[in-house]
Amino acid sequence: MLDVHHVSRDLAGPVPNQAWFIGNVRFQNLSAAAGATGVELVAVYFDAGARTRPHIHQSDQVLWFTDGDGIVMFPGEPEQRVPMGGVVSIPAGRLHMHGAPDDAPVRQMAIWVPSETDWNPPVPDEWRRYQD
């Protein structure tokens, strides 16, 4: 029998490690709920102004902003707004942050192959406030 899972903030729980985030963030691990082990699929609910801390994945990551406009940041570039429905790819090995703009919440679906994530990488001076 096919198990069907639903994306819902009501089903989201605490993030795996609050130190990886700034602000109020909820997490729904859909791949774990479905029993998948070769891919990660999570719905991440960011309150207004909440975001990840700077980090680097060892595999590519796809972000799909399904409710609200999100933000993605790379060093040396301005904060980039991603409109609702937008899908972006974060290349493996690239320092980045993502989440909600200061004025509205966002839900994103994050998809990647399970791999190590560096949550304490060296960051540019202008990003120090996001790491400390």
User: Could you state, in order of their start, the residue ranges of all structural domains in the chain?
Assistant: 9-131
Question: Does residue 31 have a pLDDT over 70?
Answer: yes
Give per-residue pLDDT as tens, 90-123. 999 999 999 999 999 999 999 999 999 999 999 9
On whether the 9-131 domain is CATH 2.40.40.20, my answer is no
Question: Does residue 132 have a pLDDT over 70?
Answer: no
CA proximity to 45, closest of 60, 26, 61? 26
Residue 74 CA to residue 65 CA, distance in Å, equals 17
**Alpha-carbon distances, residue 108 vs 12, 86, 121, 128 (angstroms):** 13, 10, 23, 24
Q: One-letter amino acid identity for 62?
A: V
Strands 40-46 and 106-112: antiparallel
Give per-residue pLDDT as tens, 48-87. 999 999 999 999 999 999 999 999 999 999 999 999 999 9
